[in-house]
Amino acid sequence: MNCNVRFLPCGDCAVTAEFGNAICEDINTAVHNFALAVESLKHAAICEVVPTYRSATVYYFPELISYSAIIEILSCCAKNLNSSLQSSKTIKIPVLYGGAYGEDLAYVAAHNGITEQDVIAIHSGRDYRVFMLGFTPGFPYLGGMDSRIATPRRAQPRVKIAAGSVGIAGEQTGIYPISSPGGWQLIGRTPLVLFDPLAQNPILIKAGEKIRFVPIDEAEYNEILRGARND
Amino acid sequence: MIKIINGGMQTSIQGLGRHGFQKFGVPVSGAMDWLSLALANLLVGNEHTETALEFAFVGCTIRFEQRAFFAICGGDFELLFDGEPIEMNHAYCAKNGNILEIGAARQGCRGYCAIGGGFDIADVLGGCDTYIKGGFGGHDGRALRQGDALRLRAPQSFLLNMPQRKIQRERLPLRKSLRVILGPQDDLFSVHGIHTFLSRQYTILPESDRMGYRTRGMNIEYAANSDGNIISDGVAMGSIQVASGQPLIMMADRQTTGGYAKIATIISADLPLAAQCKPDDTVFFEQVSIESAQALRQKQLRLLQDLECEINRL
């Protein structure tokens, strides 16, 4: 697949390789495959690569490589990209839906004229592409939520949303990695930890991967929490 | 060991940043003024990258509990060592019981106290920098406060060439002109908008911190087909986002991605100057080419190398 790529300088130490101007899986696939290609060079002058929805920002050391030279290298990486994701790992995210753990589930159901069971079935019924991580460490931007459960943000945001909360805001769904204020409609909570800087594997969900929400009951929720504490 | 007697306004342990984790949403953090950090480290015989105490506006007071060398670089701060004034940009030897008071900034706003041999701090996600908002890195992931004790990793008992361990730094310019490279989204601004950005002055607002600076000035016009919003993408240090027509300068603790159009990026050679800008300062933006920017950076790095040779010359 040949993607039209634009190289945009971000100062003298970074350049963004832009693959399009839309949120769509094909463009995002190009971004992730490009990022992988650049990383696998293990080039001494390249510091890190940050993939986002439709572009990847490459941070480099200008004292080790000129702008024109880095563009040449990145142009090569952008050619002949695979049209499917290299890493298509699907991570299961157990979610305890509704009740005290998903206070807005009833509202989301009523707003869309369906039952709470329907919301759960639709929300957990498909894989979600992780387009990128950002906003806060470990926060996954997910794509592809079914519009049948789309619900506007709460008029009044909550002062505190528990870490692990799964919510809906407009056409998007996501998981709060940390406790924070927010206006998302909360439909459930996962006992998994998305980000722990001191853990062996600090990041649970990575960009370019897929996730699938799996409904669980309170007993399983507590068991997973207990297991996590014992690690 | 050193003990914190007074934490000052915002003192935290910072190095040259946590690299390799932005793709996980983890900010780079690290020193706002990389050059001053590097110079302070140089003066006490450390690697440029060694972590130091970064302080802002009003510094901290520390008590040395063992012999160690220290140097302070950055803006111009009032310094008292056991009650006697000492100089910025100069290495000194402290012994057990000595008290160093870093007071208010007379010029600029940020400074670095480097201690020979660095701190004994465990790294988190590949770096010792403190990410205060995230609560990790550095000392307990937070700003330092009274009572904190910091272990020194490898303090030297002597340092060669003490008389040579001082630097003459230029005064901060009165006119703070920050050189920039246009883009990545300069095409989302009108010709008029870009002209405004490059010719008008902007005032740093009080709602500014290690994440970034809010500024106020003449409205910057977007292009006809843009409302200033973009699909979120990467944000480099020194990026200037324009939200509601006003520039936001992204600094060390900035989020890794952002959804506002970025008109330009401050060149790395001018980030140290940007780091010394404080609320009520006015700044101007001046366009330069990437080649000039990289040449200016090379010049700064060579300056560091030359200084290192000077200091170590027997």
β-strands B202-204, B212-217: how paired? Answer: antiparallel
In this prediction, the residues of chain A whose per-residue pLDDT falls under 70 are: 1-3, 87, 229-231
**What is the distance in angstroms between the Cα of B233 and the nearest Cα belonging to chain A?**
5
pLDDT at A88: 72
Work out whether the CA dihedral A160, A165, A168, A172 comes out positive or negative.
Answer: positive
Residue of chain A with shortest Cα separation from B291: A67
Q: Do A11 and B238 touch (CB under 8 A)?
A: yes
Residue of chain B with shortest Cα separation from A204: B24
Query: Which of helix, strand or coil describes residue A220?
Result: helix
In this prediction, the residues of chain B whose per-residue pLDDT falls under 70 are: none
User: Are B88 and B103 spatial neighbours (Cβ–Cβ below 8 Å)?
Assistant: no
User: Is this structure's pTM higher than 0.80?
Assistant: yes
pLDDT at A3: 61
pLDDT at B171: 81
User: Hey, what amino acid is at A181?
Assistant: P
User: Cα-flanking dihedrals φ and ψ of residue A214, to 5°?
Assistant: -125, 120
Q: Do A137 and B232 touch (CB under 8 A)?
A: no
The A residues from 44 to 103 touching B (CB cutoff 8 Å) are: 47-57, 59, 62-63, 66-67
Mutation site, B233, B249, B255, B266, interface A, largest A CB count within 10 A: B233
Q: Do B19 and A13 touch (CB under 8 A)?
A: no
The tens digit of pLDDT for each residue in B218-264 reads 999 999 999 999 999 999 999 999 999 999 999 999 999 999 999 99
Rounded to a whole number of angstroms, the CA Rg of chain A reads 20
A95: tokens are 């979610």
pLDDT at A219: 96
User: What is the Cα–Cα distance from B55 to B62, expressed in whole angstroms?
Assistant: 12
Work out whether the CA dihedral A73, A75, A81, A87 comes out positive or negative.
Answer: positive
User: Are A46 and B218 spatial neighbours (Cβ–Cβ below 8 Å)?
Assistant: no
Q: Do A137 and B181 touch (CB under 8 A)?
A: no
Q: Does B185 touch chain A (CB under 8 A)?
A: yes
A137: tokens are 């460490």
User: Are B181 and B288 spatial neighbours (Cβ–Cβ below 8 Å)?
Assistant: yes
Q: Does B300 touch chain A (CB under 8 A)?
A: no
SS (H, E, C) A109-144: HHHCCCCHHHHHHHHCCCCEEEEEECCCCCCEEEEC
The ipTM, to two decimals, is: 0.96
Q: What angle do CA B132, B136, B141 make, to 5 degrees?
A: 60
Integer CA distances (angstroms), B124 to B129, B238, B275, in order = 8, 24, 24
Q: Do A141 and B301 touch (CB under 8 A)?
A: no
User: What is the Cα–Cα distance from B235 to B233, expressed in whole angstroms?
Assistant: 7
B32: tokens are 């706002």
User: Are B225 and B185 spatial neighbours (Cβ–Cβ below 8 Å)?
Assistant: no
**What is the distance in angstroms between the Cα of B96 and the nearest Cα belonging to chain A?**
34
Query: Which of helix, strand or coil describes residue B297?
Result: helix
pLDDT at B301: 95
